């Protein structure tokens, strides 16, 4: 999947992940499989001491193939469709780990 085919909200989230490089997003709302930025989520940037160059935002490129982690993240959005992601961790500008809240299914 190429970056150029993403929706504007997904491109914006991708840019935010690249900008923080290392950190996490808290309480990211997903509506109709798209990230929503109102209400705003909380962004926490991690600064790696002693690692020069690792805390700089990545330079955006116009067209490129999405990394596997990013494709998997957007596949989760498509499956979940609507909800809140309490925590999305980012490492090196890529989604690394996420937590999902799911309803308890009563039997």
* Structural domain includes residue 106: no
Helix %, strand %, coil % for the chain, to 5?
25, 30, 40
- Per-residue pLDDT reduced to its tens digit, 33-49: 999 999 899 999 998 88
pTM, entire model: 0.81
Domain count, the chain: 1
* Structural domain includes residue 54: no
* Structural domain includes residue 45: yes
* Structural domain includes residue 69: yes
* Structural domain includes residue 8: yes
- In which domain, by residue range, is 15 found? 3-49+59-99
- Per-residue pLDDT reduced to its tens digit, 50-64: 866 555 555 555 566
* Structural domain includes residue 78: yes
* Structural domain includes residue 105: no
Q: In this structure, what token pair is assigned to residue 5?
A: 């085919």
* Structural domain includes residue 70: yes
């Amino acid at each position: 999947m190429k970056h150029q085919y993403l929706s504007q909200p997904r491109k914006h989230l991708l840019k935010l992940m690249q900008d923080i490089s290392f950190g996490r997003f808290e309480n990211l709302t997903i509506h109709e499989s798209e990230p929503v930025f109102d209400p705003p989520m909380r962004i926490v940037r991690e600064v790696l001491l002693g690692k020069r160059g690792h805390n700089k935002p990545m330079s955006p490129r116009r067209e490129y193939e999405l990394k596997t982690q990013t494709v998997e993240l957007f596949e989760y959005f498509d499956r979940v469709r609507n909800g809140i992601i309490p925590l999305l961790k980012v490492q090196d500008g890529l989604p690394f780990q996420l937590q999902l809240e799911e309803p308890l299914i009563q039997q």
